[in-house]
A and B are shown apart, each in its own frame.
Chain A
Amino acid sequence: MILQMGWRNIWRNKRRTAVILTAVIIGVWSMIFLGALMRGFSDRMRQNGIATLTGHLQVHRAGFRNDPVIENRITSPAAVLDALEILPEGARWTPRIRVNAVAGNARHSAGITLVGIDPGREAAVSFIGDAVRQGRYLQQEDPLGIVVGEAFVRKFETRLGNKLVLMSQDANGEIASRAFRIVGIFDAELESTEKQFGFVHIAASRKMLGVGDDICEVAVLLPSHRQVEAAAESLRQRLPEDTYTVETWKDLLPIVRETLEIYDVFIFIWFLAVFIAMGFGLVNTILMAVFERIREFGLMRSLGMLPRLVVVEVLAESFFLLVLGMAAGNLIGLLSVWALSVNGIDLSAFSAGMEFAGMSRIIFPVLVARDIFTANATVFLMGLAVSLYPAVKAARINPVEAMARP
């Protein structure tokens, strides 16, 4: 019956209840919706980063990352490939040649990153395997083919089937050059990716640079990003530290990592701000309700109701407000996330400014059970906690004074 009283009491002042419910609904909705958007941003950003050749982790010759020249290649790839045996089941890896090169045709020339890949293995690790929109992907035997990005093609005013000359320093420090033919044009999330990379067969790049069977890096994709740290650690155990560096995507993409950390802080601050606004509203509402009913609480205390039961009654009111608001807030939150998950939000208008951080043009909100739980638990527990204040005030009402009021 105490709970019933709480329930009925919140409907005594319908307008006030409607106002506070709206506040709770907007609060919970915004926590869920913005939380999902943020999650969408950050997941996408991480996935982009990982798919754009980074993988979950990479192995290089020590020194290559500071000075990515062909001299710093891995000269005994067999040792590294042996070490990869200890990777968890389902892990995929791919060897690469990766050097800076100058690409040129009759009209233009520009610096690109020349990536020599094993077409089959590469497709299982990075985005390029299914990013080719025109022409074809590299084949198992492909001594002359090159795959470049859509933006690159536009910039170079070239097209499928045209020639492209690449120049780079070879193993002997001489300038090596080789003509390739554009066999495929790829699309990427980011325009910068499309301009930066040119993909050729690993054998073609080895031959051009005169490096035998050597490689520049190995990229690894694990079944789950939770396995990254452990896998990196066990690889470090197997590969001598003075010869090889093993780095995770967090080491390789510091900007992405920091941006994700900033997002986490931002989400937290947002939750806090929403909660503070909602908490004040709630305390204020309950406090008003208590002050309006001083005589009533005086009566209940006179009849012998213990203070702690008065606390329970007032908390029941706030409980119902919170539960109703949360139910509607969650529903609207889920619906709005669902509505957006079909087409996502097109951010291309802003994407120029956002690309630096590896952000996509289209963002899909991502619901994570833990985020929803955190939002609801925060609202519910903190909501009840702050309602203790008016509840205790109600319980402290002196029955004689309350009943003597006019």
Chain B
Amino acid sequence: MKSIRNIVECRDVTKIYDQGRVKVTALKAVSLEIERGGFIAVAGPSGSGKTTLLNIFGGLDVPDQGTVSVDGELLNDMSQSALAKLRLHKVGFVFQSYNLIPVLSAIENVEFCMLLQGVPAAERRRRARSMLDDVGLEDKYDRRPAELSGGQQQRVAVARAIVSNPVMVLADEPTANLDSKTGEGLLQLMREMNEDKGVTFIFSTHDKMVMDYARRLVVLRDGAVAEDAQR
């Protein structure tokens, strides 16, 4: 175990999307270390590689060059099913939109990952309840996603991401589809979870307000790290 402090270590990560004749270099030799307990924003204009970077951190995508390890495990050589297991047990995901399974109620969505992990039903229910209470949805257990507002849906997604105790939560533009007030509320919630429960958050954004919440700001430009500052 080289480093217990860093949850993600990536070295010289390059990702090239080959679309026939056109080759898009989404990430150019990115090297980053993400510390445990961090609250990190990955910022940059659209197309700068934020989503690609988060996907690689989360084991959804693999780099063409360079190495990535999560919680001490090297992702490069992992099989698809090993990556699926890593995502299930170590990473919480919050996406920009369409985060929830439409046929499941709020509480069932929160339970979903625990179900896949094999957590017993009673414990699943109990943990999902208290998690929904923590994100302020104590009266919305049985609502379907379609019956929740955008902000409430993202809160459910955050609850689902945190409830199974992952090493980090990756949130790709979690506020992009929310109005600024609701977005701010969501960030406050994430920040709270970070401070109270020590959950590591890595979120991408191109919104100045959102960046202001971060304790560390990594700025990407054309697939390369342009700036990396503690705040």
Q: Chain A: residues with CB nearer than 8 A to chain B?
A: 1-2, 5, 8-9, 12, 295-296, 299-307, 309, 399-400, 403-404
Contacts and interface: CB of A to CB of B under 8 A. Distances in A.
B101 A300 contact: yes
A299 B103 contact: no
B176 interface: no
Given A5-B103, A8-B103, A295-B98, A305 B55 contact: no
Contacts of A403: 60, 95, 98
A400 B60 contact: yes
Contact of A1 (B58, B99, B115): B115
B176 to A, nearest CB: 13
Contacts of B112: 1, 303
Contact of B103 (A9, A302, A303, A307): A9
A300 B98 CA distance: 11
Q: Which 6 A-B pairs have the closest CB atoms?
A: A304-B88, A8-B103, A304-B87, A304-B84, A400-B61, A400-B60
A400 B55 contact: yes
A302 B51 contact: no
A302 B171 CA distance: 13
Contact of B113 (A2, A12, A304, A306): A304
Contacts of A296: 98, 101-102
A299 B84 contact: no
Interface in B80-97: 81, 84-89, 91, 93, 95
B111 interface: yes
Contacts of B85: 304
Interface residues of B, number: 27
B93 A302 contact: yes
B116 interface: yes
Nearest to A309: B116
17 contacts: A1-B108, A1-B111, A1-B112, A8-B103, A12-B102, A12-B103, A296-B102, A301-B84, A302-B93, A302-B95, A303-B112, A304-B87, A304-B116, A306-B84, A306-B116, A399-B60, A400-B60
B104 interface: yes
B116 A305 contact: yes
A303 to B, nearest CB: 6
A9 B101 CA distance: 10
Contacts of B102: 12, 296
B51 to A, nearest CB: 7
Nearest to B93: A302
A189 B10 CA distance: 89
Main secondary structure of the interface of B (DSSP, over half): helix
A299 B116 contact: no
Contacts of B113: 303-304
Given A5-B104, A8-B103, A403-B95, A303 B51 contact: no
Given A8-B103, A296-B101, A303 B111 contact: no
A5 B101 CA distance: 9
A301 B58 CA distance: 12
Nearest to B161: A303
Nearest to A306: B84
B87 A303 contact: yes
A261 B87 CA distance: 59
Given A1-B112, A1-B115, A403-B95, A302 B101 contact: no
Given A1-B111, A299-B99, 17 more contacts: A1-B112, A9-B103, A296-B101, A296-B102, A299-B101, A300-B101, A302-B93, A303-B88, A304-B86, A304-B87, A304-B88, A305-B84, A306-B81, A307-B81, A309-B116, A403-B95, A403-B98
A110 B183 CA distance: 103
A126 to B, nearest CB: 65
A375 to B, nearest CB: 31
Between B60, B99, B103, B108, the greatest number of chain A beta carbons within 10 A of the residue's beta carbon is seen for B103
Nearest to A303: B113
Interface centre among A12, A295, A403, by most chain B C-beta atoms within 10 angstroms, is A403
Contacts of A5: 101, 103-104
B125 to A, nearest CB: 11
A296 B84 CA distance: 16
B60 A302 contact: yes
Contacts of B91: 304
A208 B98 CA distance: 98
A403 B99 CA distance: 10
Contacts of A9: 103
A303 B58 CA distance: 10
A299 B51 CA distance: 15
A17 B89 CA distance: 36
A1 B116 CA distance: 10
Contact of B116 (A8, A12, A303): A303
Contacts of B101: 5, 296, 299-300
A289 B91 CA distance: 29
Contacts of A301: 84
A307 B83 CA distance: 12
